Amino acid sequence: MSADMSPVVTTFDALRGQLLDAAEAFSGGGDTLSGILAGMVDDVDRMLREELEIFPVCHHSPASALAMTRRLRTKRPKVVYLELCEDLRPLLDELRNCRLPVALQAFATQLDGFPPGSGPLSVVAPVTEASAEYQAIAYALDTPGVELVLVDRSVDHVFQWLPGEPDGTASSGVEGVDGEEAALHGDAVGVEIGDLRPRFAELEAHLLHHGKVRHWSEWWDQYVEQPLTGADYDTYRQAMALIGSLFRRLRPTEDDRLAIDEERERYMWTRIREHLTASGADPADCLYVCGAFHAVSRVAEFGLAADAPPYAISPRTGTRWLYGLIPSSHSAIEAQFGLAQGSVSIAAATWAKAGRRGGVTPYRLEGQQGGRTRTKTVKTVKGSEPPATAGPAGDRLSGFLAAPPVLDGLDEDELRGWCVDIVRLARRGGYLASTADAIAVFETSILLAGLRGRARPTPYDFADAAVTCIEKDVVPGRRDVRRLCEILLGGDRIGAVGYDALPPLARDVYDRLEPLGLDLSRRTQQRVLLDLKANPELEPCSDVLWKLRYLLPDGAVRPIMGVRRLGERPIQESWDLAIGRHQRSIIELGYEGVTVEQVLEQRLRRTVWEPQATAGVALTAVADAILYLGGRRFADEFGNRAVELLATERTVDDAPEVLRRIRRLLAHYRATEPELPAWCEAFVTVGYAHYCTLLPTAFADDDTGVRQVGAMLGFLFTLESLALSLGCDRAQLELAVRQSHPEAPAKVALLWAAKTQLGLLPRDELRARCDELLSNPLVVPAFPLYLSGFVQALEPVPALAPFVVEALSKAFARLPDPVLLPWLPTLIMTLRKHVPELVPVLVREAGRTFPGGLAELDAWTPPWERPAVPIRQGRQTGEAGAAPGRSGPAAALLARHPQACDAVAALLGCPAEWPAAEVPEPGQVEVRELLARHPTTTGAIAALLDR
Amino acid sequence: MTNEMTNEMLRAPAEVKYAAELDWLESIDDGPKPFSWRLSPRMVRLFVLGSERSDGLDREIPQKWFGDRGFVERSIVTLASDRGLLLIGDPGTGKSWLAELLAAAICRNSTLVVQGTAGTTEDHIKYSWNVSTVIAKGQSRESMIPSPIMTAMEQGVIGRFEELTRSTSDVQDALISILSEKYVSIPELDTDNTVFARPGFSIIATANSRDRGVNDLSSALKRRFNFVRIPVVTSKTSEAEIVRFRTAELLRRHRIELDVPPTLLDILLQSFADLRAAAASATSEDEKLESALSTAEQIGVLEDAILHSHFFGDRTLRAETLGGSLVGSLARRAPEDLAILNKYWHGVVEPRSQKDGGEWTSFLEGGRQTISTLS
Ligand SMILES: Nc1ncnc2c1ncn2[C@@H]1O[C@H](COP(=O)(O)OP(=O)(O)O)[C@@H](O)[C@H]1O
Ligand SMILES: [Mg+2]
């Protein structure tokens, strides 16, 4: 058996040993084993015999890329078929505008034909420079007359065919990856060309164990990559096909990925055949680039000569797919496809080195940004390209056999350079490393390579050696030695999508932020200061930033100073911007619309039309629309929706929020518009009726909180004058209050407060009721609850504050210690829990009531115990000191011109009543003096009137 | 002869125990050997980690130390360089065992050991004098007693230093000069007063990362050692292998014929895994068992249970006994450890026994009894 295999594999003793071993271990030996081995030979033969030249690739394999470059240079195919989703084709032309790695992305939010709730769907296909597919793409796009045809199923099919658990050929975004570079792909499903890995964990573990390596990337590097790097084309193809074949044959029987793979293979061959027929291309001028796994496919459609019945390609769903490029990074690719940390970087470094060595000039898209720029200087060393002999099969490898491949390990100079560099990096990282360590790392690398049977140390050996010699018991800085090695060996490379390849929205954002004079492609955080007073032209930038802040994830744009609130105009703002780092988010916004405004509008609209939207949500959207979109159109639309939502709401859970928001909006409109928008008026009238209707239920219902009822009353009382002016009927409110019969003490108190406000319950009777409560030992324990109700009532009935202070003081004064002391903690807890925001109001009122010092306390009588008459008498007789500020020239001035005070009082919801004080004759000197002493106000008014 | 010796020693050093294997490996070893090593680095690795079929050997070499092969490789190449090797990790992770295996494989002598304690003095790592000989013959090389480290220097073999961090800084300083100058001078003598290290001399030290800081190593000493950190084994399969491997040995040593049922091994591994997870999420020392929950401790628990069943029981290992041994070995600090175990028993073992039944029920019972006896 192995005699048959020998032409193919004896060149790769180690690889052959590994593969045969694995075949034996997992076939169970005997007939099955020989079946597998024979099958493998068949597979390879079949691929070699195929009329259409098949180029098997593996992802992140510099050897693959190198073989590809050489093959393209010798064969110069006219058509390249590539295993990549066919609908991604237009994106490839944009690659040259980007700094690789980037990922091709397809994105869909409007699903049609997929289960609802499964969106948004996102597929990414990362492209690195050190890959065979990039070589093929660059060759095909930049060589006139060459056609690049993507033949794999569309992204729509990716999801159609996705098995229940999305870990088939596509691997979905890895959770829990650390570092934001690694999370660049978000939770997209990844697709890659040339996915070549054992299909079950045991096989991989077997290969790692027997290959004496730590992870898959190292296995690949040692057993495939290095031997293949110098190999000729035929050897390359055979070895790759052999691996593909083994993995295909050794797979778990229940592997449902194979079904998808075979479906894809049918798809690809069908597309190829269609293209050949349509274009009339000569198959001899074509090259089919696919993963090694697919190169040895057994589907009936395989091969141009296949006589399988035509394969019907299933239609796409109605889902609308959007396409774009997003930045990627080596670590994101490693995380997405489960590769060892640093392996993609090492592949990139190996590739760069191969390029420097000469021997082959890699293809590069014209105008490709970043990366190496020295391609021109790399000269082709004549004769160093292994010839692709076209002899008969048995002969193919003879030249290669005679001269074993030169392993592409490190050369000594390079290793020495790394050793010096790692010590330098380590020192910068806080390690006490010295030249002695550099020497030790060098020596240890060589020893390790020897122990591991490698002619020269690989980057993996070097990293191990550096860790051994430099890492001690603690990591002194942020990065440990292994991480430093990764950085040294090329580090994570993060791609960026160039301006021209950005979607219109992103380009628009970049344009509009241009005046800031920042380099937005920088990945670091940048601080900008906008002095909007000095540079009003920067206001549009500020607008964009606020919109972005609304739309982008946290951290992309962050205001350090400045707020955007209704009724405020910013003077100065400062921002921390990390736009470069969040390029993907901006690009993905681009899938939602052409401008940020459009996206914002859609998002707001979506929130207010969602089934679970509430009036509060809609009012929030109104405020957001005013803040971010300006104009009345959206605000009015969302406002009308708010009216609609409020009218149909069955619960009042939202009442506090509604009250807060509508008050703010009313204040905003009163300050900025000549009259209230129609929806505001509608909202107030609808709200008045609505809350009136619900009031009795809310009072009675145990599930409705005091806060909610308080807010309802707040709405009814504080917006009452507006509501009445719009035609509401106060009788409705009175009736609602009369119909309310709460049982919970807090709500009872609230109801009493409401009745007092409506004049249904005189203040004296309220006082009497409270006194009664306090004198009834059975009720006393519940008194704090009554109090918390009263405190809640401060919102709708602010005038109640003195009374609440009174009630509290009485409680302290009258309750006997045995009742009072255990009661105090309950009181405090109740207040803290139920009405934290109103406690300050209470404290302020108490401050006004009680004397400021201990001395005065002795002579002090609480206001509610003072006889009511003397105060009034005092005022009437003009007694100074009793009520300072209520008489005198300023008071007289106000009394003579009461309009301003009345207006303020109306706004605050206070009754505007004036004490019947004497009105002194005009022209008092004191007033003049006052104005002369404080001329600013008068000046300002004059200036306003001038305008 | 070796067999006899093995039988007579309570615990034979690795080079004795595996003498035949080492002889055989030496006979087939054609790889290059550094210094005076008895085996090439690859053979050392083979000896420690065991052979694969793909190694194509006529004889199977069993695996003796279980863990990431990278650790072993890094340790071996360190010894082939001119730095000492410091194995650092939690107690019971097999550091001393690995050191012994390496010394046995490299120079067939793993017994040149200094134990680091607070009482270790410079004499223990350099030399001391045989007082009666000094009185009779005066100070000479004859009346000098070399330390194990000095012997290792003279012979060009590996010296071992256990628990390096426990020794005082004087001792550590003396070690610096040995490792850097590679000789020890004997000022008391006029002639022949320097002992030079022969090629092949190196030191394998071990340090317990739990008591790091007691005598934190000086940076000068750190620089002369390569550190290889040995983590606690967390993969259940390799842990099971270690436990099985060591208990088999123990049974052989005590000539005990007793089966360790796989279900019990599972219970042991599972409960350790649970307790480790609990320790990892604990927020204070009081919520953590004092024990590091290492593999060695697992072996200890099983050993205890086996010996108990053998000598006091009916020569069958039962889940009750295992439960009792587990509680007995891990409850070191009353009341904290007991409280943690009690919580574990109630919160995890009890529900599991209700769900899975079987041996868990007896395990539950055994542990419960011991908890109540101890508290
Ligand atoms: N990884 C391992 N491989 C083999 N045996 C181990 C391993 N870890 C622990 N042991 C066993 O545990 C016992 C105690 O280990 P030891 O070497 O004394 O630990 P340490 O020195 O790290 O405290 C050893 O005798 C060995 O049997
Ligand atoms: Mg030890």
Residue A881 has pLDDT above 80, yes or no: no
Q: Quote the tokens at residue A634.
A: 């959206």
Distance B129 CA to ligand 1 centre (A): 35
Q: Ligand 1 pocket test: which of B66, B90, B97, B272 has the largest number of ligand atoms within 8 Å of its C-beta?
A: B97
Residue B41: closest CA among chain A residues belongs to which residue? A451
CB distance A451–B83 less than 8 Å?
no
Q: Quote the tokens at residue A434.
A: 């010295």
H helix intervals, A253-372? 257-279, 292-295, 330-337, 343-357
CB distance B222–A472 less than 8 Å?
yes
Question: Residues B211-245: pLDDT tens digits?
Answer: 665 567 888 888 899 999 998 877 777 788 888 88
Residue nearest to atom 16 of ligand 1 (CA): B94
DSSP assignment of A25-45 equals HHHTSHHHHHHHHHHHHHHHH
Nearest to A719 by CA among A663, A636, A792: A663
What size, in residues, is chain A? 947
State mean pLDDT over B301-327.
88
DSSP H/E element including B87: strand B84-89
Residues A654 and A637: their CA atoms lie apart, in Å, by 20
Task: Please tell me the predicted confidence (pLDDT) of residue A943.
Answer: 67
User: Which phi and psi (to 5°) does residue A719 adopt?
Assistant: -100, 10
Question: Residues A142-185: pLDDT tens digits?
Answer: 999 999 999 999 999 998 887 654 433 344 444 444 566 667 77
Task: Give the Å distances, CA to CA, from A703 to A651, A658, A707, A744, B57.
Answer: 10, 19, 11, 11, 79
Give me the residues of A, 452-491, that contact B with CB < 8 A.
452-453, 464-465, 467-469, 471-473
Task: Please tell me the predicted confidence (pLDDT) of residue A146.
Answer: 95
Residue A645 has pLDDT above 80, yes or no: yes
- Give, as one character, the DSSP assignment of residue B54: G
Task: Please tell me the predicted confidence (pLDDT) of residue A6.
Answer: 38
Q: Quote the tokens at residue A860.
A: 């002090």
Q: Quick one: chain B helix, strand, coil %, rounded to 5?
A: 55, 10, 35
State mean pLDDT over A825-851.
77
Residues A766 and A857: their CA atoms lie apart, in Å, by 27
Q: How many CB atoms lie within 10 A of CB B260?
A: 18
CA dihedral A812, A814, A818, A823 (to 10 degrees): -40
Q: Which candidate from B45, B227, B228 shows the least CB-CB separation from A451?
A: B45
- Give, as one character, the DSSP assignment of residue B157: -
CB distance B41–A472 less than 8 Å?
no
Residues A586 and A594: their CA atoms lie apart, in Å, by 11
Task: Please tell me the predicted confidence (pLDDT) of residue B212.
Answer: 60
Task: Please tell me the predicted confidence (pLDDT) of residue A916.
Answer: 55
Q: Is the minimum CB–CB distance between A13 and chain B shorter than 8 Å?
A: no
Beta bridge partners of A53: A287
Tokens 């680091």 map to which residue?
B116
Residues 6+ apart with CB under 8 A from A388: A70, A71, A74, A232, A233, A234
Q: Quote the tokens at residue B233.
A: 């084994």
CATH assignment of B2-230? Answer: 3.40.50.300
- Give, as one character, the DSSP assignment of residue A625: I
Task: Please tell me the predicted confidence (pLDDT) of residue A338.
Answer: 81
Beta bridge partners of B300: none
User: Measured on CA atoms in the order A590, A591, A594, A599, is the torsion positive or negative?
Assistant: negative
Residues B230 and B65: their CA atoms lie apart, in Å, by 12
Amino acid identity at A213: V
pLDDT band at A561 (very low <50, low <70, confident <90, very high): confident
Residue A730 has pLDDT above 90, yes or no: no
Alpha-carbon gap: B43 to the closest alpha carbon of chain A (Å) = 9
| Ligand number nearest to the C-alpha of B97 | 1
pLDDT band at A377 (very low <50, low <70, confident <90, very high): very low
Residue A874 has pLDDT above 50, yes or no: no
Amino acid identity at A361: T
Residues A53 and A283: their CA atoms lie apart, in Å, by 8
Residue B360 has pLDDT above 50, yes or no: yes
Task: Give the Å distances, CA to CA, from A435 to A414, A471, A674, B60, B74.
Answer: 16, 15, 79, 43, 20
| Ligand number nearest to the C-alpha of B62 | 1
Q: Which candidate from B69, B77, B88 shows the least CB-CB separation from A444?
A: B77
- Give, as one character, the DSSP assignment of residue A314: P
Question: Residues B266-297: pLDDT tens digits?
Answer: 899 999 988 988 888 877 777 888 888 888 88
H helix intervals, A581-632? 583-589, 596-609, 615-624
pLDDT band at A946 (very low <50, low <70, confident <90, very high): low
Distance B257 CA to ligand 1 centre (A): 23
Residue B364 has pLDDT above 80, yes or no: yes
Question: Residues A433-457: pLDDT tens digits?
Answer: 888 899 999 999 999 988 887 777 8
Residues B360 and A227: their CA atoms lie apart, in Å, by 53
Rounded to the nearest angstrom, the gap between the alpha carbon of residue A128 and the centroid of all alpha carbons in its chain is 24
State mean pLDDT over B331-337.
81
Nearest to A228 by CA among A15, A76, A37: A15
Tell me which residues have their CB closer than 6 angstroms to ligand 1.
B 65-67, 89, 91-97, 206, 233, 242, 246, 295-296, 299
Residues A801 and A798: their CA atoms lie apart, in Å, by 6
Residues 6+ apart with CB under 8 A from A117: none
Nearest to A9 by CA among A291, A238, A196: A238
Residues A815 and A177: their CA atoms lie apart, in Å, by 62
Residues with CB under 5 Å of ion ligand 2 are B 96
Residues 6+ apart with CB under 8 A from A39: A245, A249
pLDDT band at A1 (very low <50, low <70, confident <90, very high): very low
User: Which phi and psi (to 5°) does residue A496 adopt?
Assistant: -145, 145
Average pLDDT over all residues of chain A = 80
Residue nearest to atom 1 of ligand 1 (CA): B66
Residues A383 and A915: their CA atoms lie apart, in Å, by 111
DSSP assignment of A405-463 equals PPP----HHHHHHHHHHHHHHHHHTT----HHHHHHHHHHHHHHHHHTT-SS--HHHHH
Residues 6+ apart with CB under 8 A from A825: none
CB distance B77–A468 less than 8 Å?
yes
On whether the CB atoms of residues A801 and A842 are closer than 8 A, the answer is: yes
Q: Quote the tokens at residue B46.
A: 């083979």
Q: How many CB atoms lie within 10 A of CB B329?
A: 17
Task: Please tell me the predicted confidence (pLDDT) of residue A352.
Answer: 83
Residues B13 and B17: their CA atoms lie apart, in Å, by 6
Lowest mean pLDDT among A62-71, A168-177, A348-357, B86-95: A168-177
Rounded to the nearest angstrom, the gap between the alpha carbon of residue A710 and the centroid of all alpha carbons in its chain is 38
CB distance B77–A21 less than 8 Å?
no
Question: Which of B55, B71, B226 best tests the A interface by mutation, with the highest count of A CBs <10 A?
Answer: B226
What's the angle, vertex CA A656, arms to CA A655 and CA A659, rounded to 5?
Answer: 80
